[in-house]
Amino acid sequence: MRMLTLRQLSYFLALAETRHFGRAAARVHVTQPALSMQIREMEAGLGVPLIERGRTIQLTPAGREVARRAARVLADVIEIQAMARRQALGGRLNIGIIPTVAPYLLPDLLPRLPLQLRLREAQTDRLLAGLEDGTLDAIVVATAVGASDLVKVPLFRDHFLLAGSAARLEALGSVEALRPVALDPEDLLLLDEGHCLADQALEVCGLERRGTRLDLGASSLSTLAGLVGQGVGFTFLPEIAVPTERAAHPRVRVVRFADPQPSRDVALIGRAGAAAEPWFTTLAGALKQAADQRLAQVR
């Protein structure tokens, strides 16, 4: 029996998850014939068929077991590589965090954290890719992640507040029963595409991006806060950002929406192997404490 390679296991796992040779090949960045050849070599080496070829790809009983074990082996390999990288960096952890959280939590977090961190600020899809390939040890994001090999620790619920100039907000009249769907989409300023906060804001308003008048491609909440403070439309500010942005832009005013208030849930995400290490619990606790103190200033 020939020894299986990690490359073969990764190819087969991609096929098992996509059930399509073309999509599996694209996922692992090889041609379809190359992937098909590796799968056939696996079957020849094991002496059993792993897939049923036809109009659709189905796994055989042996194929299902190989896929289950391959996922575990590859996860262990990623953890071994991550562990070696941390040792080479003197035990530092690579942590990813989305831009609509990083500038508001990190100043309070870093002084009290007994861990050495290397921080990467990026949008959610890039952070998830880094977590998957092992270049990041954990990430802080505000999106649903359903992968079975990831561990999610909820950190805090961050409500969205409506931000604008005093004159703009007064023109709305009574805001006691204000709801996002009542806003004129032409008055909304949003972050650039790819920011999960922008997508969440559109979702709570029941809107599509093309329905907004000013699609500025802004990369930061600070840019939007500066604009709305000058009377240019409205934007959504997460609670965690309010103290910083109001201090930087004194003309910005905020009001709460009526209950149920729109919000996002921010969580710490890690691979199962990394999440079992003590540093993961320490990091989660420090993040929660920093967020609680921050939100207490607003609430």
**Domains of the chain: residue spans and CATH:** 6-84 (1.10.10.10), 91-299 (3.40.190.290)
- Tens-level pLDDT at each residue, the chain (299 residues): 678 898 999 999 999 989 999 999 998 889 999 999 999 999 999 999 999 987 788 999 999 999 999 988 888 887 777 776 666 545 688 899 999 999 999 988 888 788 888 899 998 989 998 998 888 999 999 977 766 678 899 999 999 999 989 888 888 777 666 777 777 777 888 887 656 777 777 776 666 555 444 455 567 888 888 888 888 888 889 999 999 999 999 999 998 888 888 889 999 999 887 788 888 999 999 999 999 988 988 87
**Beta partners for residue 255, in sequence order:** 162
The model's pTM is 0.69
Packing angle of the helix pair 61-88, 6-18 (nearest 10 deg): 120
CA distance 146 to 123: 18
